Structure 1
């Protein structure tokens, strides 16, 4: 198999190392890749003691992505067990359904121990989960020992070492169990529930969007009204004080009246808001006087029109006068 893959590839290097570590079966689990595919593993796990799965031996597949260990594997059970659906990718925080919770420090050993730990938990409608009765699970646990895998040739009765109460877990198993404790059982959620939550929140999102649109439409009008009041107050203050300077251009703010200081603060706040986001044309732009050049052009056109009319009238008058003299 080593000649079929690039040994410099991180995924191949990692899987080769894990295959060497897991080549010998233990009392709890065993996993090895297929002879012709390094990225598909078959595993066997023993049901956890003191549970509905006690005495059961369960077989399954692990399909690993080319980006492993940066991306999680997909786990599929092949033995009927009453907890996970057969032949379907199960939804766990260590599987491909939740890449956001996967950690590269986890391994296939960690996944096997996590599967054993997940079996006694409730399915709660998660993808690939089942909630059989305890009697049904116990019956399936007895039948699981007669299961034989046609793809890898594993026999459940001889796939694992005999279970003994005096067995001492290895250091690797202890480390894997510590990593398995970090796996969140809350990550096992149903996509149907997620879709329902998104559907239920859709009206609220639309409502919030409509409210934001209304506020955005009303904001320029409010700014225009505020600026109108500010300009009125400023004009009144300037008329009384006889000054034409703007309240913003005065360096000494101590000489300003309370109304002028309030106007100056309001204008500064409005300028900061306008700098943060674009708004529609303000009142100062709407109230902008006409262009002086346009007014001058209009006056010039009127004068030229009157001059041309006077010239035409004079020529007509002169022609009539010349004709009258000629007739005489």
Structure 2
């Protein structure tokens, strides 16, 4: 595998080092890259004791970006567990869904310990989260020991060392736990609630913005063009301020983005329509006036030309008669 990658790459050097450190499985976790892909790792973690996941061993994938460790990995669980959806990227503060909270000092070991710590927490509707009942999770914990990964061929029963009363954490484990504590497991649920509240506020403000533009459109429908342009412009500025205030630093879901784009298009079309009608009215009048003046000038020119032809005809006729009499 070393001949396949650029060993000068920071990501490759970091992953090679972590692969060497995690080569030997522990009682609680194990992870190694695939034989043909250094940027995809498969891992196994033991369910936390004294929880609904006690006795379970869960298998999953970690997909790392080329910019690792500057950017976070994506984490996917492959074993049914009742806390995380199977085959879907889970939303945690250590995963690719939250690059703003990722720290380069964290590692794959930190991620594994964090996953174990996150399992007993509530899903709170986060992406890739589930809230199964304790009974369902205990059933899945027992079934997890029979899981076998088709990709890496890992057998769950032999992926981790057996638990013993004398199992002591290593220095690396202690360091990883200290780093994992910075993730603040309990604060994750609070962050999820805040994100949900922000989304609800944003959706409400977006609907208010749409109602504002709709009512403004009906209100100014019968007004003169100049007043329509003025009202639409004022409404557009107000709507832009609302959209900026509600969406600054707050992610919008696809439906909210669609509503906001629809409102902005209606806003732009209404403003341009009213403004264009007012701007082009004087130009149209001027064009009509110029057309009338041109028509009148053409009539005068044609009249003068006809008069000159008649005069010339009379003059030539008289001159011919004069010459004939002589």
Shorter chain as normaliser: what TM range?
Answer: 0.5 to 0.7
**Matched residues in 1 for 2:137 and 2:234: separation?**
52
Could you tell me which residue of structure 1 aligns to residue 206 of structure 2?
A: 202
Any residues of structure 2 matched to 1:293-308 within 5 Å, and which?
Answer: none
The structure with the greater share of residues assigned to helix is 2
Q: Does 1:11 align with 2:11?
A: yes
Any residues of structure 2 matched to 1:28-107 within 5 Å, and which?
Answer: 28-107=28-107
Could you tell me which residue of structure 2 aligns to residue 146 of structure 1?
A: 146
Closer/same/farther in 2, CA of residues 210 and 180 from structure 1, 3 Å limit: farther
Could you tell me which residue of structure 2 aligns to residue 22 of structure 1?
A: 22
Q: Does 1:121 align with 2:121?
A: yes
Return the offset for 1:196: 3.4
Return the offset for 1:211: 9.1
Could you tell me which residue of structure 2 aligns to residue 180 of structure 1?
A: 180
Listed as ranges, the gaps of 5+ residues in structure 1 are: 215-328
Could you tell me which residue of structure 2 aligns to residue 156 of structure 1?
A: 156
Structure 1 contact 93–184 (Cα < 8 Å) conserved: no
Q: Does 1:189 align with 2:192?
A: yes
Could you tell me which residue of structure 1 aligns to residue 243 of structure 2?
A: none
**Matched residues in 2 for 1:117 and 1:160: separation?**
18
Structure 1 contact 110–180 (Cα < 8 Å) conserved: yes
TM-score (normalizing by structure 2):
0.62
Return the offset for 1:165: 2.3
TM-score (normalizing by structure 1):
0.61
1:239-285 Cα offsets, whole Å, 9 max, x none, are xxxxxxxxxxxxxxxxxxxxxxxxxxxxxxxxxxxxxxxxxxxxxxx
Closer/same/farther in 2, CA of residues 210 and 52 from structure 1, 3 Å limit: farther
Aligned pairs, how many? 213
Closer/same/farther in 2, CA of residues 213 and 34 from structure 1, 3 Å limit: closer
**Matched residues in 2 for 1:193 and 1:115: separation?**
25
Closer/same/farther in 2, CA of residues 213 and 198 from structure 1, 3 Å limit: closer
Residue aligned with 1:158, SS: helix
Listed as ranges, the gaps of 5+ residues in structure 2 are: 213-232, 239-326
**Matched residues in 2 for 1:159 and 1:21: separation?**
16
Residue aligned with 1:11, SS: helix
1:203-247 Cα offsets, whole Å, 9 max, x none, are 67798x969968xxxxxxxxxxxxxxxxxxxxxxxxxxxxxxxxx
Any residues of structure 2 matched to 1:224-239 within 5 Å, and which?
Answer: none
Residue aligned with 1:13, SS: helix
1:264-315 Cα offsets, whole Å, 9 max, x none, are xxxxxxxxxxxxxxxxxxxxxxxxxxxxxxxxxxxxxxxxxxxxxxxxxxxx
